[in-house]
Amino acid sequence: MNSLAVPLAAPDRPVSGVALTIVIILFVAVAALGFVAARWRAGQETGLHSLDEWGLGGRGFGTWVTWFLLGGDLYTAYTFVAVPAAMWATGAVSGFFAVPYTIVLYPIVFLLMSRLWSVSHRHGFVTPADFVGGRYGSRALTLAVAVTGIVATMPYIALQLVGIKAVLTVLGLGSAENVLLTDLPLIIAFVVLAAYTYTSGLRAPALIAVVKDLLIYLAVIVAVIYLPIKFGGWDNIFGAAQTKLGAVNPATGKPAGVFIPGAASYSAYWTLALGSALALFMYPHSITGVLATKSRNTIRKNAAVLPLYSLMLGFLALLGYVAIYAGTKPIDLNGAVNPQLVVPQLFLDHFPAWFAGIALAAIAIGALVPAAIMSIAAANLFTRNIYRDLIKPEATPRQEASVSKIASLVVKFGALIFVIAMDQSTAINMQLLGGIWILQTFPAIVAGLYTRWFHRWALFAGWAAGILYGTIAAYNVVNPVTKANFGGSIAAIPGTDVQVYIAVVAFAINLIVAVVLSLVFRAMKLPDGKDITRHSDYGADENDPKVAQIQREYPLAEPGTTV
Amino acid sequence: MSSPDVPTRGPARPGPYIIAGVLLAIAVVVPLFVPAYSFDKPRLAGIPFFYWYQMAWIPITAGLVGISYWLVSKEDRRRRETVRGTANGGQVS
């Protein structure tokens, strides 16, 4: 397909036959892989009838599988669509911050995640809220962490659908008139996803991630070498980007975007990067990926090799600028400009149809991996921290697994309805809020890995204060063009005009409240909850016995009992 | 708790952890210090400094994390050996 085949005047697009066929073939192959995954590394007598097996893939993923799994989990389809879209539309501050974000992420992961792995391994924790519950013995705090995780994950799943939708739109599926027909491919894709997640659990996305990641690397490497040569070098591309982003937008009287941040944007740029990096591994789906690894050091080794994905993301971001030079026209079904179509459209315009098909399939399949892991993670949170903690404390592992499977279906269909029934911007706003909210669980989870100094109720109060401030501040950001609320994630620090990422200010408020109230509550001698973890748990590795085993060998029961 | 808190690792030597901590701190702070790289020139193959400098920090960070991994895991192994002795029998794997 070349650009001649895309009539820009008419919103309805011609179907790109070859590319669509490739996408369908790859999608079917991947779906089959998802079902086969149920048998991969299985064979224990339990089958998939426990959360360790269904929800954490048997807790045995080594370095390679984890690399693909976390790569597919963290660098989502929405990222691949949204980051170049942001570069194309507004430039460096809202787009390229993804690069420092995914750089500083890994030292942080290195520091925190092996401790979380160790204590979770010893106690059989499946979710971050399990750990908070074990550490602080506070039901309110556990529930706060669990609910925040579920609520923040839902719109994230919905955005993966937005990623698939971008691909389908560019391929020419759907029309502005027939809404049902437009959404039908999306619904089919999601039903298939739901089915293999239900049967195979975390093994399905782990296996699919390998295929998806290889396709994405192939697409990005080829595009980044071929397109700049075709367009006469990066000089031309950056020149076009500078011109476009520097042009004054008549609606706001300001430049359309930022080519290289000036002094006024420094704080926004680095707080966006830092805040996002701190938040990412508080998301349940990231922690699910960590807890599914085999040993304490798997995640640390991965922190050193996962940055390869960041490099790919950086080049992908630059494709947003390539699209500016190429004059890509991301026209949506309703005839409006939709920046999210930029990268799929770029591939379709400038590559042979079969290669565009591979690239678009990589993005669409890329949505399935994180969507599956996110729904599993949210389902695990529901099962362990709402169903088991509040409804049925004596639930067996088998019951937990079946509840979690059903919950994963509910979560996915919730996300589907989200995307089909509501405006796309609702999902994006919710995702923006989700990022702010999830960071508010950081003090409870991370401080607990190192110290019991914080008081459980102080952490709860800090969480509430952070959520409250973050929500209000995000609501008050008004889009200068559309005058809509939730217009962005940057606001001034109260009392100053320093522009920063709202989540970081909310986090600071959260931390201050938690520290001050901990001092007050300690002075008042309010009771601490029961801490079931011990110092030695935080350094345990896969060869150390689990707590259940220690208790068998050193029974807690009356003196004199022997085993 | 009547089950004893059996240490999983022996006492730490601070050296490797301090070095790793410094390396990781560099990997976090330097890429976030925007005033150091918000320039257009010098360009590399037509890519402005702002863009290629940040991309260059991706492999540098990977290297720093890799060195930290090597330091910390070596110390970790030593600490475990002091607890377990040389006899590795009876371990569950």
This model of the complex carries an ipTM of: 0.86
Integer Cα distance of A232 and A239 in angstroms:
12
| Lowest-confidence segment of A362-366, A374-378, B48-52 by average pLDDT | A362-366
- Span A344-357, average pLDDT: 91
A103 DSSP β-pair partners = none
Instruction: Spell out the domains of chain A, with CATH numbers in brackets.
Output: 3-39+47-527+535-547 (1.20.1730.10)
Q: Best residue in B5, B17, B51, B68 to probe A by mutation, most A CBs within 10 Å? A: B51
| pLDDT higher than threshold 50 for residue A145 | yes
Tracing tokens 């908070």 back to the chain, one arrives at: A132
| Beta carbons of B55 and A543 less than 8 Å apart | no
Angle at A178 between CA A153 and CA A424, to 5 degrees: 25
| Beta carbons of A273 and B32 less than 8 Å apart | yes
| Beta carbons of A110 and B76 less than 8 Å apart | no
Quick one: CA torsion of A431, A432, A433, A439, rounded to 10 degrees? 100
Integer Cα distance of B58 and B62 in angstroms:
6
Confidence of residue A4 (pLDDT cuts 50, 70, 90): very low
Confidence of residue A45 (pLDDT cuts 50, 70, 90): low
pLDDT digits (tens, 9 = 90+) for A321-348: 999 998 888 888 777 788 888 999 999 8
Chain B hits for A259, Cβ within 8 Å: 48
Burial (CB count <10 Å: 0-12, 13-18, 19+), residue A559: exposed
What CA–CA distances, in Å, run from A50 to A323, A374, A409? 47, 18, 17
Name the residue among A116, A81, A117 with its Cα closest to residue A98.
A81
| Beta carbons of B45 and A233 less than 8 Å apart | yes
What's the half-sphere exposure (Cβ side, CA atoms, 13 Å) at A530?
3
Instruction: Look at residue A34 and give its three-state secondary structure.
Output: helix
CB A240 within 8 A of CB A256: no
Q: What is the pLDDT of residue A175?
A: 63
| Beta carbons of B55 and A539 less than 8 Å apart | no
> A96 — contact with chain B (CB < 8 Å)?
yes
| Beta carbons of B61 and A100 less than 8 Å apart | no
Interface of A with B in 213-252 (CB under 8 A): 228, 233-238
Comparing alpha-carbon positions, the chain A residue that sits nearest to B56 is: A311
| Beta carbons of B34 and A270 less than 8 Å apart | yes
CB A463 within 8 A of CB A510: yes
Using CA of residue A335, residue A341, residue A344, residue A346, what is the dihedral sign?
positive
A248 DSSP β-pair partners = A255
Chain A: closest CA distance from residue B38 (Å): 6
Residues whose CB falls within 8 Å of the CB of residue A151, separated by 6 or more in sequence, listed in order: A434, A437
- Span A384-410, average pLDDT: 87
| Beta carbons of B48 and A303 less than 8 Å apart | no
Comparing alpha-carbon positions, the chain A residue that sits nearest to B39 is: A260
| pLDDT higher than threshold 60 for residue A11 | no
CB A271 within 8 A of CB A501: yes
Q: What is the pLDDT of residue A553?
A: 63
Q: How far is CA A292 from the centre of its chain?
A: 16
> A541 — contact with chain B (CB < 8 Å)?
yes
| Lowest-confidence segment of A12-21, A210-219, A437-446 by average pLDDT | A12-21
Using CA of residue A175, residue A177, residue A179, residue A180, what is the dihedral sign?
negative
Name the residue among A220, A217, A205 with its Cα closest to residue A30.
A205
Radius of gyration of chain B (CA): 21
Tokens of A246: 């520097």
Q: What's the maximum distance between 2 C-alpha atoms anywhere in chain B? A: 67
What CA–CA distances, in Å, run from A536 to A339, A541, A546? 51, 10, 11
Confidence of residue A44 (pLDDT cuts 50, 70, 90): low
| Beta carbons of A303 and B69 less than 8 Å apart | yes
- How many residues belong to chain B? 93
Nearest to A238 among B7, B46, B68 (CB): B46
Chain B: closest CA distance from residue A217 (Å): 16
Q: What is the DSSP string of A305-326?
A: HTHHHHHHHHHHHHHHHHHHHH
What CA–CA distances, in Å, run from A199 to A51, A293, A405? 13, 21, 8
Chain A hits for B59, Cβ within 8 Å: 307, 311
Indicate the average pLDDT of chain A. 85
Name the residue among A71, A69, A70, A89 with its Cα closest to residue A81.
A89
Phi, psi torsion values for A306, nearest 5 degrees: -65, -25
Chain A hits for B35, Cβ within 8 Å: 263, 266
Q: What is the pLDDT of residue A398?
A: 86
CB A275 within 8 A of CB B28: no
Nearest to B93 among A236, A273, A543 (CB): A543
CB A373 within 8 A of CB A160: no
Integer Cα distance of A30 and A210 in angstroms:
10
Integer Cα distance of B43 and B52 in angstroms:
8
- Span A8-28, average pLDDT: 75
Q: What is the number of CB-based contacts under 8 A between chain A and chain B?
A: 146
Confidence of residue A174 (pLDDT cuts 50, 70, 90): low
CB A246 within 8 A of CB A255: yes
> A312 — contact with chain B (CB < 8 Å)?
no
Residues whose CB falls within 8 Å of the CB of residue A28, separated by 6 or more in sequence, listed in order: none
Q: How far is CA A527 from the centre of its chain?
A: 36
- Span A249-271, average pLDDT: 84
Q: Which segments within A388-440 are labelled E, that is strand?
A: none
Integer Cα distance of A521 and A515 in angstroms:
10
Integer Cα distance of B66 and B74 in angstroms:
12
> A55 — contact with chain B (CB < 8 Å)?
no
Q: What is the pLDDT of residue A162?
A: 82
Integer Cα distance of A431 and A488 in angstroms:
11
- Span A471-475, average pLDDT: 91
| Beta carbons of A542 and B93 less than 8 Å apart | yes
Name the residue among A414, A415, A472, A462 with its Cα closest to residue A439.
A462
| Beta carbons of A550 and B6 less than 8 Å apart | yes
| Beta carbons of B3 and A550 less than 8 Å apart | yes
Is the N-terminal amide bond of B11 cis, ω within 30° of 0? no
Nearest to A307 among B45, B62, B68 (CB): B62
- How many residues belong to chain A? 563
Chain A hits for B30, Cβ within 8 Å: none
| pLDDT higher than threshold 60 for residue A3 | no
Phi, psi torsion values for A255, nearest 5 degrees: -60, 150
| Lowest-confidence segment of A48-62, A147-161, A384-398 by average pLDDT | A48-62
Q: What is the pLDDT of residue A462?
A: 95
Chain A hits for B62, Cβ within 8 Å: 106, 304-305, 307-308
Phi, psi torsion values for A530, nearest 5 degrees: -80, 130
Cα-Cα end-to-end distance for chain A: 72
Integer Cα distance of A13 and A540 in angstroms:
57
Phi, psi torsion values for B85, nearest 5 degrees: 70, -165
Q: What is the pLDDT of residue A450?
A: 92
Name the residue among A140, A161, A144 with its Cα closest to residue A381.
A144
Interface of A with B in 105-124 (CB under 8 A): 106-108, 110-111
Per-residue confidence of chain B (93 residues) as pLDDT tens digits?
Answer: 445 667 778 888 888 899 999 999 999 999 999 999 988 888 888 899 999 999 999 999 999 999 999 999 888 888 888 877 644 444 443
Radius of gyration of chain A (CA): 24
Q: What is the pLDDT of residue A127?
A: 92
| Beta carbons of B32 and A544 less than 8 Å apart | no
Comparing alpha-carbon positions, the chain A residue that sits nearest to B2 is: A556
Q: What is the DSSP string of A408-446?
A: HHHHHHHHHHHHHHS-HHHHHHHHHHHHHHHHTTHIIII
Confidence of residue A490 (pLDDT cuts 50, 70, 90): confident
| Beta carbons of A103 and B58 less than 8 Å apart | yes
| Beta carbons of A260 and B69 less than 8 Å apart | no
Chain B hits for A110, Cβ within 8 Å: 24, 65, 68-69
